[in-house]
Homo-oligomer: A and B are copies of this chain.
């Protein structure tokens, strides 16, 4: 059995600005001060599990990704333009199908998530691979720790023949708080973390049934990928519609009983903002993390603060839960409590401040 990890790396968002920004998305950043960027930590986690790893990203960040992961050309798929997760993952799956055959298993893992319990992650991936060998499309679902309304949810169905793997009865859109609370209380729902594991043939044949033109185009590009005609084949990319794998494959295939899920508790986070980030710092009690060069941080009556220093010391007095980010070209000051509203603030910033560097 061959298992190839696909790592989609894209999207900056605004909720972790100015650490994460268009020119410098969070997967390129050591968010927790652990010494590895998020995409490096993702590759580290997969190194012992996967026979190969392919990152799919945009032209803007291809060089930085290759540099951080020391990737060769075969391990980097550069999208000519963003078209959503379905074309990105589908193209890499088609390339893997060409290189390793239809029985090779691919698994997609976002470049910018945090997972603190790597043993639980390993175990979940191994179970997902076992289920994928039975021609299921498998998603790893996160056992919810709160009624978060920022995620889609997975409704578990009956157990499958594989230990620790359930069928998926339905994928649910992001719920309102009342619905999310009901989901969590029932014990039947998992967070959809966008991790899909399947044989290339199973994935692409499903795609061929639901979106035949897209499957045909992606397989055509893949056939030319490792030869001299890649660029001309990539001409097809321009005509692709935006689409996401959840809508195109996961939802309709689940309705047919073709999707399974592995429930897992592994300290997962998509780091949706500074509050979530603060829960994953190395020193949660002091809440201090150094993002820039080493500098002093002095906290007085400012417990549970998150501070990224750059080239000057920072003294905070009387602001509990302060969030302070000095990136050298701009300083952000907010609090954990207020940071949930940061996205709107950043979107409204003048361009010369929002898009520094």
A interface with B by C-beta (< 8 Å): 18, 296, 298, 300-301, 312-319, 322, 324, 326, 328-335, 337-339, 341-342, 345-346, 349-350, 352-353
Contact = CB atoms under 8 A, between A and B. Distances in A.
B331 A331 contact: yes
- Which secondary structure characterizes the binding site on chain A? mixed
Nearest to A324: B333
Contact of A317 (B312, B317, B328, B342): B342
Contact of A337 (B318, B339, B345, B350): B318
Given A300-B345, A349-B298, A318 B334 contact: yes
A329 B334 CA distance: 21
B319 A335 contact: yes
A322 B302 CA distance: 14
Contact of A314 (B315, B318, B331): B331
Given A331-B331, A338-B301, A315 B350 contact: no
Given A326-B331, A331-B331, A318 B341 contact: yes
Contacts of A300: 341, 345
Protomer copies = 2
A317 B333 contact: yes
A334 B316 contact: yes
5 contacts: A315-B345, A317-B332, A317-B333, A317-B334, A322-B333
Nearest to A315: B332
A36 B330 CA distance: 27
Contacts of A301: 338, 341
Q: Which 4 pairs show the lowest CB-CB distances between chains A and B? A: A318-B338, A317-B334, A300-B345, A314-B331
Contacts of A330: 312-315
A81 to B, nearest CB: 31
B314 A329 contact: no
Contact of A350 (B296, B324, B334): B296
A353 B313 contact: yes
